[in-house]
Structure 1
């Protein structure tokens, strides 16, 4: 790795500015955190800094959203998980924050207010621009070292992600290091054959991943499911019915059909499309049809059972499986079979990665999350990483190592 890690730096008795991503599902009415998975993923980094004064910088949601709120509940949840006091203060870098930091002893943990309450944090900017913001200048005065553990936000070029490494000695936290290491393995020494499963509704991201891993020779096969599969079927001239076609138009992905056609023209034998799908019948029941006989008025909502057997065989016989996006409307029991069975099969491969987001939630709900080699905490960040892009936060950490030295 070109960036520094906690092993490269002395943090004992130092004041550490720790950027994490505690952005979580929350009940706006009661301000109750509904899922603390990200808290649990970050706790090893916090525990590794137990001899430091830890000042936590994080966010919840973004402006105009219903769950854009203070971090009092987040501090309480972290305190519960750590079994150690976590002080919350409703300030970011003002006098109250400065005074609170001055009073800290080694082993203390302080959580600052939602950093996105500061307008500068919500603006995309270059690292140089970010380094000169009031936010970065103010936060950098609070600590000696900056540790970025927020992989889930690593694709955002925002001040705390890319500006602080330009003004402070900075390293990656335990989770950031783990994410980059595991995802990088997909591109280098992962067991063969390598299969990508791309589904869900983020069609443009999936197209970019498919193109990258096929053109670079990383993937031996790309299995497409969900709305992504529907776009590929349209590219092949298959009539998927009005409801499914209308959804693609509504999501703004009709232009992706051309991209799908280009991928198929180059890698026809490596892109695996479903031959059978499941639809919702007029009476609400599940119906199974081959793709050339999809009823015009019924929406495609899952992988067909006759496609499930060959698909699961492919995954079980793969050395590496990267799984990103569900195979259908998994929230409904009637259409959850494809997603559930494919995930179970993927977990049996020698090296298996789940790309965060909804897929990670399903894996945990099935109780099979421990069977995967790695489950990413960053949906968007993971996808961008798999497209071959260098994430802004990672580039900033690499630059910080150049600027402030390896030790």
Structure 2
């Protein structure tokens, strides 16, 4: 889709409303991980350097439409000022006199942070009146929060339709990476989808088999597909009632010319705990009293060949119980192979989703991928082929 970026708009002497995601973890009133704050710095700095006045809109936690002191954005002010290296003026509300006063106090080079948008019930309802109140504060709207783009809220979708709008640097970077992965990718394309349950990723699997050349299924999901093929998986996590659905996905993939890859060998154990006694067996030879906790080395070797023969990789979810050793081996090995191919310039690799980022970080591979999305729900809905309201509103 076509959308404007900061390079397409004149910001001199303009008040620029910027939707950001600074929903960071905190402990004892102190930010413990400022990654999300650091990621908005390029957008805010570019607005200031272009002569605009950035006014940040954001949510924090789930206050359910009423002010909650512990969820005030005032708590992040020190971390925000440190990351930006600029003075940040706080507005005690995101609309009305308090917001206007804060904007009025801001001089050249200052940044304004307005209070939690979710302190208003109209935010999550995408209330037109709240969107209008937000729009009345500024001249231009910039969305730099891809992670909230799957939600049609007043600050993500409503206000975007009332002002000249553009994507911020982080949003534009994310959209470019995603387009390179599934929109107009270099082929062949391989997708890795892991996780516990098929039932939570039906839309994802159904969309991917029509978009990619190879689909690798791992984790507990793979067990359900093995069951669908008449293979016994012992005490492994498997959704036996989803076997019919798994068969339908296999048929849809075949019709679309997508090759589905399931484990050919598996690592099994009798206990789900770190360093439990384990053995590697063929995928169709899981003992009745054991559970599958990881893919085996033959499977990793096969996946490595698929990665080597592919040009684009999209990854969501681990291949096994990556949280505990030694059942992180397949995820680690496959991730490191993808990272090496990316560094060699033969593979474009895009990954996202909570467990995925954690798994790739644990494997020491995340920093070597082409792009890592921290967007969670928005990344998943994009992989499912759904329209993201916050992105569509920029078109």
TM class by smaller structure: 0.7 to 0.9
**Does residue 357 of the first structure (1) align with residue 354 of the second (2)?**
yes
Contact kept in structure 1, 2:41 and 2:84, CA below 8 Å = yes
Query: Shift of the alpha carbon at 1:395?
Result: 1.4
Partner of 2:43: 45
Partner of 2:101: 99
Partner of 2:54: 54
**Does residue 113 of the first structure (1) align with residue 109 of the second (2)?**
no
Match of 2:219 among 223, 226, 232: 226
TM-score (norm 2): 0.88
Partner of 1:32: 30
Query: Shift of the alpha carbon at 1:49?
Result: 1.0
Match of 1:260 among 239, 246, 261: 246
Query: Shift of the alpha carbon at 1:183?
Result: 0.8
**Could you tell me how far apart the structure 1 residues matched to 2:154 and 2:40 are?**
21
Gap change, CA 1:286 and 1:61, over 3 Å in 2: farther
**Does residue 380 of the first structure (1) align with residue 369 of the second (2)?**
no
Partner of 2:234: 241
Q: What runs of 5+ residues in structure 2 fail to find an aligned partner? A: none
Q: What runs of 5+ residues in structure 1 fail to find an aligned partner? A: 249-253, 399-407
Query: Shift of the alpha carbon at 1:62?
Result: 1.8
CA RMSD of aligned residues (A): 2.5
Contact kept in structure 2, 1:205 and 1:383, CA below 8 Å = no
Question: Alignment length, in residue pairs?
Answer: 379
Gap change, CA 1:385 and 1:85, over 3 Å in 2: same
Contact kept in structure 1, 2:295 and 2:320, CA below 8 Å = yes
Residue pairs, 1:277-356, within 5 angstroms:
277-282=266-271, 284-347=276-339, 348-349=341-342, 350-356=347-353
Contact kept in structure 2, 1:26 and 1:67, CA below 8 Å = no
Match of 1:176 among 168, 171, 176: 171
Gap change, CA 1:286 and 1:63, over 3 Å in 2: farther
**Could you tell me how far apart the structure 1 residues matched to 2:69 and 2:322 are?**
24
Query: Shift of the alpha carbon at 1:205?
Result: 5.5
**Could you tell me how far apart the structure 1 residues matched to 2:224 and 2:376 are?**
21
Gap change, CA 1:231 and 1:169, over 3 Å in 2: same
Partner of 1:4: 4
Contact kept in structure 1, 2:91 and 2:101, CA below 8 Å = no
Partner of 2:75: 73
Corresponding residue SS for 2:314: strand
Contact kept in structure 2, 1:226 and 1:327, CA below 8 Å = yes
Higher relative contact order (CA 8 A, sep 6+): 1
Query: Shift of the alpha carbon at 1:365?
Result: 4.4
Query: Shift of the alpha carbon at 1:297?
Result: 4.1
Q: Which is further off, 298-307 or 176-185? A: 298-307
Gap change, CA 1:238 and 1:36, over 3 Å in 2: farther
Contact kept in structure 2, 1:206 and 1:228, CA below 8 Å = no
Query: Shift of the alpha carbon at 1:366?
Result: 4.1
Contact kept in structure 1, 2:89 and 2:102, CA below 8 Å = no
Gap change, CA 1:391 and 1:305, over 3 Å in 2: same
Partner of 1:251: none
Query: Shift of the alpha carbon at 1:239?
Result: 2.5
Partner of 1:167: 162
Query: Shift of the alpha carbon at 1:162?
Result: 1.0
1:54-77 per-residue CA deviation (whole Å, 9 max, x = no partner) reads 11111123247x997222332222
Corresponding residue SS for 2:232: coil
